[in-house]
Structure 1
Amino acid sequence: MLGEEDILKDVGSRDLRSALLSAAMPIRLATSETVFSEDDQGDALYVLLSGRVEISIACEDGRRLGLDVLSRGAVFGEIALFDPGPRTATAMALEQCRLLMLRHGDLKHAIEGNPGLAFELLRLMGQRMRYMNLQLHEYVFMPLPQRLARKVLQFASRDGEGCARLKLSHSELAEMAGASREAVSKVLSGWKKQGTLQTGRGFVEVKNEVTLRRIAGI
Structure 2
Amino acid sequence: MGTLTDPHNLLTVLEKDEWFSSCASELKQALVRDAKLHNYAAGEALYREGESARYALFCVIDGAVQLTNALHDGTPSLLVYLQPYHWFGDIALIDGGPYIRDAIADMDTQILCVPIQSFSHWLDEHPKYWRDIARLSINKLRVAYQVIGEPGALHHRLARRLWLMAQGFGSRTQNPSLQLVVSQEHLAQMMGSTRQSINAALAKLEGLGLVGQGYKSIEVHDLQSLLNHANHLDVGDSSGRS
Q: TM-score range by the shorter chain?
A: 0.7 to 0.9
**What is the correspondence of 1:198-209 to structure 2 with a 5 Å cutoff?**
198-206=212-220
1:103 maps to a residue whose letter is P
2:131 maps to a residue whose letter is F
**What is the correspondence of 1:78-97 to structure 2 with a 5 Å cutoff?**
78-97=90-109
What is the TM-score of this pair, normalised by structure 2?
0.73
Measured against aligned partners, the alpha-carbon deviations of 1:160-195 in whole angstroms (never above 9, x if no partner) come to xxx943211110111222212221122223444565
Change (3 A) 1:102 1:212: closer
Change (3 A) 1:135 1:194: closer
Change (3 A) 1:81 1:169: same
Distance 1:21 1:32 in 2: 26
Whether the 8 Å CA contact 1:4–1:49 is kept in 2: the answer is: no
Distance 2:124 2:224 in 1: 50
**Equivalent position of 1:114 in the other structure:** 126
Change (3 A) 1:63 1:182: farther
Distance 2:14 2:220 in 1: 29
**Equivalent position of 1:53 in the other structure:** 65
**Identity, % of aligned pairs?**
26
Q: Could you tell me which of 165, 169, 179 is aligned with 1:155?
A: 165
Structure 1 unaligned segments of length 5 or more: list them: 158-162
**Equivalent position of 1:184 in the other structure:** 198
Query: Are residue 4 (structure 1) and residue 6 (structure 2) matched?
Result: no
Cα RMSD over matched residues?
2.8
Distance 2:116 2:219 in 1: 41
**Equivalent position of 2:112 in the other structure:** 100
Q: How far 1:46 moved relative to its partner? A: 0.8
Whether the 8 Å CA contact 1:36–1:92 is kept in 2: the answer is: yes
**Equivalent position of 2:48 in the other structure:** 37
Q: Could you tell me which of 70, 75, 78 is aligned with 2:87?
A: 75
**Equivalent position of 1:14 in the other structure:** 25
Query: Are residue 143 (structure 1) and residue 157 (structure 2) matched?
Result: no
Q: For this pair of structures, how many residues does the alignment match?
A: 211
**Equivalent position of 1:160 in the other structure:** none
Q: How far 1:148 moved relative to its partner? A: 0.9
Q: Could you tell me which of 166, 179, 182 is aligned with 1:168?
A: 182
Q: How far 1:78 moved relative to its partner? A: 1.0
1:75 maps to a residue whose letter is W
Q: How far 1:54 moved relative to its partner? A: 2.5
Structure 2 unaligned segments of length 5 or more: list them: 168-176, 232-239
2:216 maps to a residue whose letter is G
Change (3 A) 1:164 1:125: closer
Partner-residue secondary structure (3-state), 2:148: helix
More strand by share: 1
Distance 2:158 2:73 in 1: 21
Partner-residue secondary structure (3-state), 2:58: strand
Change (3 A) 1:24 1:207: closer
Distance 2:208 2:132 in 1: 46
